[in-house]
Amino acid sequence: MSLNKAEKLENNRFEMEFSVDHDTFEAAVNKVYRKSVKNINVPGFRKGKAPRSIIEKMYGSGVFYEDAVNEVLPEAYTAAVKEAALEVVGQPEFDIVSIDENGLVLKAEGYVKPEAKIEGYCGIEVSRTVVPVTDEEVDREINTVRERNARELEITDRAAEMGDTVTIDFDGYVDDVAFDGGKAEGHKLKLGSGQFIPGFEDQIVGKNIGDAFDVNVTFPEEYHAAELAGKPAVFKCVLHAITATEMPELDDEFAKDVSEFDTLDEYKADVRAKIQTRHDKTAEAEVEEQLIEALIEKLEADIPEPMYVAETENFVRDYDNRLRMQGLDLKTYFQYTGMTLDSLREQMRPQAERQVKTRLALEAIVAAEGIVATEAEIEEEFNNIATAYNMPIDDVKSNIDSEMIAADMQVKKAMDLVKEKAVITDKQPEAEEKAEA
């Protein structure tokens, strides 16, 4: 391959011409001939045995050219881009300039990454919501653990109480006529859960195992079955069993059972610290979101459409991979949701645009600040990836370009710089934010 010419045009377009020598192209034509001849019938020759010259005489000298061009194009184009030092984005358009005794000449036209500029990225003013951990949060989290470690006890010596789980048969009637869905046997119902019509669960409280009784209720006016809405009903019930949930005592023994700590106080302190860490991460994410929005506003760049298209496709591929990890794929997802590939792309386009702009802004800061990634930092990152994916580090290095690692680390350093230089004002959450939390 040889690069004939390359030039950048207006609006971040480029035009490039490059050549493939005669011998390389001729070898590609021969390769295509050998692959194709077995499917070509030529009178006077056994199938697959016709000479190349005979086939070219019958179908034209360029019969194998298109496939031969596709054979040599990827490697030749990649080498030409590297020699021209172009940062191409998206898929360019190719044209054949000439094919003759000298070989093949191709032309490529497309887009390059824009030159991005950014100013005022130091001293960006943002706010951080500081959310202190409350005793209620700690108690709620610990009670969740207690519920997971609770046991069910069969009750035989008392009547049903709120909070118990009862096993009942019921048969419902409206105007002395049974209705669809109003009958069940051996149904388990937690009293106080609100699963049934208002008033139903209250009337089971106080009943004993073996009791047969009526429950009188009225269907809500907005009930989903219009023929039952607002009507009084009678459910003939039989109570078969009662179970109660026994929560473990909140003491040092409980702490030992559910954690690595010996005392309840130590366990509570750990729970509080973990909740605080979550709050802090949320606050830092809030700060980063504000900084990114500010960087996008300060970015100056004429961004080519292919950059957005390519990033949108990356988002779609990542989503497909995540679905596959859950045993699904895009085709199944579309069947369930009624979406299409185009509607998924449309949904992900804003995220893709934001990602492209954020990356360009941070890369502009990398260039402005002269940020670099050291060999030691790159090596450490390779080690981190190898550990995270349980792979030999040599396998990681063979699959991931060190330049990509360096570029990602430089971008991360740029974001760290923006955070370090930001003016962050701490604030307490508003009343509605507290209620939402």
Q: Kindly state whether residue 127 falls inside one of the protein's structural domains.
A: no
Mark whether 308 and 420 lie in a shared domain. yes
Q: Which residues contact 61 (CB under 8 A, 6 or more apart)?
A: none
Could you tell me whether strands 165-174 and 232-246 are parallel, antiparallel, or unpaired per DSSP bridges?
Answer: antiparallel
CATH number at residue 33: 3.30.70.1050
* Residue 144 lies inside a defined structural domain of this protein: no
- Our count of domains for the chain comes to 3
Taking CA atoms, 66 is separated from 17, 25, 29, 78, 79, in Å, by: 18, 11, 9, 19, 20
Question: Which structure tokens are listed for 52?
Answer: 């190349």
pLDDT tens per residue, range 245-297: 999 999 999 999 999 999 999 999 999 999 999 999 999 999 999 999 999 99
CA angle 145, 147, 151 (to 5 degrees): 125
Residue 146 forms part of a structural domain: no
What is the full per-residue pLDDT of the chain (437 aa) written as tens digits? 899 999 999 999 999 999 999 999 999 999 999 999 988 888 888 888 899 999 999 889 899 999 999 999 999 999 999 999 999 998 899 999 999 999 999 999 999 999 999 999 999 999 999 999 999 999 999 999 999 999 999 999 999 999 999 999 999 999 999 998 899 999 999 999 999 999 999 999 999 999 999 999 999 998 888 889 999 999 999 999 999 999 999 999 999 999 999 999 999 999 999 999 999 999 999 999 999 999 999 999 999 999 999 999 999 999 999 999 999 989 999 998 999 999 999 999 999 999 999 999 999 999 999 999 999 999 999 999 999 989 999 999 999 989 999 999 999 999 999 999 999 999 988 755 555 55
**Rounded CA separation 431/171 (Å):** 47
Beta carbons of 93 and 110 less than 8 angstroms apart: yes
Same domain for 412 and 376: yes
Query: Quick check: is 102 in a domain?
Result: yes
Other beta carbons less than 10 A from residue 37's beta carbon = 18
- Structural domain harbouring 302: 256-436
Same domain, 171 and 297: no
Residues 38 and 106 in one domain: yes
Instruction: Tell whether 218 is covered by a domain.
Output: yes
Same-domain pairing of 86 and 171: no
| Same domain flag for 207 and 157 | yes
Assess whether 171 and 91 both reside in one domain.
no
Q: Are residues 242 and 274 in the same domain?
A: no
Write down which residue in 91, 112, 133 finishes a domain: 112
Examine the domain organization and report whether 301 and 429 are in the same domain. yes
Q: Which residue, 86, 112, 138, sits at the end of a domain?
A: 112
| Pair (206, 264) in one structural domain | no
| pTM recorded for the entire structure | 0.73
- Look at residue 120 and give its three-state secondary structure: coil
